Structure 1
Amino acid sequence: MTLTRREVLLAGGGLAVLCAAPALAAGEIVIEMKGSARGEQVWFAPLGLAVAAGTRVRFVNRDPGNSHTATCYHPSILDRPRRIPRAATPWDSGFLMPDDSFAVVPAVPGVYDFYCQPHEMAGMVGRLVVGRPGDPGWEEPDYPPGDLPEVALAAFPAVAEILRQPVLKGGTP
């Protein structure tokens, strides 16, 4: 049997897709928890992120000098205001030591605000936009003014900005 050039190219392309499949199938995005060398600044990197529903989001503590949490704002966790979609499952990583990680798979479209419990007052917060406005099940955020400390509120990137630029670096390089 002799293969045509087209069949060889198609087979080669299929092989390339299969080789890349573990990375594609994983569907995982990483958000790092970082801190400056002396610990005076802490942040999530990226600060804002847009993902499709069902994407695995892994939080990894890359700060050698601090433990951190990845905690969504929800009344069931430390009686905080709800800042995730109503139908979403709340999450809290617990304290992550350096190089520890925690993953969550948000399935409900909407805006998910999260923070580090010991560092919220240092502005260590982040925003995850799952899906897009208009997606089935999308819920517009309806947060009351002043529901969080001012330093946290000031750190959140705008949803429109995240949708324009799906990965917002933020923090300190």
Structure 2
Amino acid sequence: MKKFAFAALLSMISMPLLAAEHQVKMLNNGKDGSMVFEPSFLKIEKGDTVKFVKGDASHNSASVIVPANAKQWKGKMDEEIVVKPDQEGVYVYVCDPHKMMAMAGVIQVGKATNLEEAKKEAESLSKTFVMNKDRLSKALAQVK
């Protein structure tokens, strides 16, 4: 029993050591054009964090589509934030002032449990874009 308790304690202590921090830059210009998150798609594991890094001024990150019972986030303008998606599934986020320019990105946490719902909501969101109308669907196409 002591060996089991020790193994359980050791695994709980080491879990934070296994979690990774990923970075997403908020940019005026990037490899996918203007007003972008780079990368636009991330696949992470539950327990990992995502840090939104200020590359250029006047951007934020705000979740718009999340799995059921997942915690949403909304960073302030020019604020670098760290988020820890708490449920498996697909998360879609935008930069509020540049949402109409399709400044959006996707995070997949573990299994894409809500992919079909996310695609439907993203299709509706994409209709509000005035440019780069396929940017979000391209990011979602990377979800597996």
Answer yes or no: same fold by TM over 0.5.
yes
1:36 is matched with 29
| 1:24-63 superposed matches below 5 A | 25=18, 27-36=20-29, 41-63=34-56
1:93 is matched with 75
Give the deviation of 1:34 after TM superposition: 0.8
Quick one: structure 1 residues 34 and 161, their matched pair in 2 at CA, closer, same or farther if it must change by over 3 Å? same
Give unpaired runs (5+ residues) of structure 2.
1-13
2:62 is matched with 71
Pairwise CA RMSD: 2.7
Give the deviation of 1:159 after TM superposition: 3.9
Q: Which of the pair is proportionally richer in strand?
A: 2
% same residue: 27
Is 1:120 the counterpart of 2:93? The answer is no
Quick one: structure 1 residues 119 and 161, their matched pair in 2 at CA, closer, same or farther if it must change by over 3 Å? same
Contact 2:105 2:139 in 1 (8 A): no
Distance in 2 between the 1:33 and 1:145 partners?
20
Q: Deviations over 1:87-118 (max 9, x none)?
A: 1001001111xxx4101000200000000000
Q: TM-score, normalised by structure 1?
A: 0.61
2:124 is matched with 147
The structure with higher relative contact order (CA 8 Å, sep 6+) is: 1
Q: TM-score, normalised by structure 2?
A: 0.72
Contact 2:19 2:47 in 1 (8 A): no
